[in-house]
Amino acid sequence: MRFVCLTERNVDRNLIPNDVVSRTVDGASPARAWREHLDFTQADLAARLGISQSAYARQENSDRVRNSSREKIAAALAISAKQLDF
């Protein structure tokens, strides 16, 4: 039997938490829903990505995010890019 130690920030890379889904139903983009679920600010995530907060805000609110940007955002959130694609 294998045991895995989970921390607060450790997210199963195949699942989408109910909280994230609920936030998107309420109108948030998947990136915003994940960011808020993981308790990051836009400034926090922008710093992780090496961009300005306003540049990140444009990406987060965009209907069309490049695949490369989606992958970078997912990596900064420590989730898979597939989890941003629902």
Number of domains in the chain: 1
Q: Does 56 fall in a domain?
A: yes
Domain, as residue range, for 76 = 28-84
Alpha-carbon distance of 65 to 69, in angstroms, equals 6
User: Would you state the structure tokens that stand for residue 42, as one six-digit string?
Assistant: 């836009």
pTM of the model: 0.82
Q: Note whether residue 5 is domain-resident.
A: no
Please report whether residue 80 resides in a domain.
Answer: yes
In a domain, 49, yes or no: yes
Does 62 map to a domain? yes
What region, left, alpha or beta, does residue 42 occupy, with left being phi > 0 and alpha being psi -120 to 50 degrees? alpha
Tell me the Ramachandran region of residue 32: left when phi exceeds 0, alpha when psi lies from -120 to 50, beta otherwise.
Answer: alpha
**What digits encode the pLDDT tens for the residues 25-79?**
999 999 999 999 999 999 999 999 999 999 999 999 998 889 999 999 999 999 9
